[in-house]
Amino acid sequence: MRGAGAVRTAVAGAACGVLLMSLTSCGSSGDGGSAQKDDATPGQAQRADTRAVDLKRIPHVGDRLQSQIPAKSRQVVAVYGEGRDSAESTVVLYTKQGTTWDRTRSWPAHNGKKGWTTDHHEGDKRSPVGVFTLTDAGGVLPDPGAKLPYTESASFQAPHYWAKSHWHDFDYVIAIDYNRVKGTSPSDPTRPEGQSKGGSIWLHMDHGSGTSACVSLSKSGMSYLLRTLDPEQHPVVVMGDKAELKA
């Protein structure tokens, strides 16, 4: 997998010209709020949630979405949105041990500034509800030891005409496989379902308020996910507001 990352670093510059258009799905100079401080001691805030609990299924996820989690997946990132129109959410990593799921870590997070939708379109400022694979990562910063293929490139840098609180949003990113080509850099602008369906939806670093469609969490949380999510475990994200997740 490391060889793939090296190749991507070499070709990342070719995507630089189109990346700015892609980034508009993830951030905006119009967001307010100050940057959320990184955890002072990684795991401190999450330690209370790091309890092994035997679960036969992902909690608070109904049959509709539960059935979309591939049988081979042994890592699930669950994003629990507070409400349909809320930008507040919680990210929980579940790891399958045998036939049960363990709640591994959790972090406070943000989603689209206008909440969630089951019919996402470009510019609606809502995050798409659903189950999506996680196959590719990257960012401005050097590879922190990611198991997913990682593209390091300055082309991920958020424009400096955006609010300063957004400048580090894309230091680390994990592509959510919504309307994108798997096996490519997160910066690849290709949208198989068309431009109007939106795209460039990522897990990325938090700036303290809602996003344009992505899910954001702390730097330490992103670093942990990058070092933990393993292609051999077929990781997916299950995301949505609590009501839609339970449906």
Model confidence at 1, in pLDDT bands (50, 70, 90)? very low
- Residue 37 in any domain: the answer is no
Enclosing domain of residue 108? 63-246
Asked if the structure places residue 198 within a domain, the reply is yes
pLDDT digits (tens, 9 = 90+) for 183-202: 999 999 999 999 999 999 99
pLDDT digits (tens, 9 = 90+) for 70-105: 999 999 999 999 999 999 999 999 999 999 999 999
Assess if residue 4 is contained within a domain. Answer: no
Is there a domain that residue 31 lies in?
no
| pTM exceeding 0.95 | no
* Nearest residue to 181 via CA among 193, 191, 170, 168: 191
> In the chain, how many domains are there?
1
Q: Is 82 contained in some domain? A: yes
Q: Residue 17 falls within a domain, yes or no?
A: no
CATH of the domain at 78: 2.40.440.10
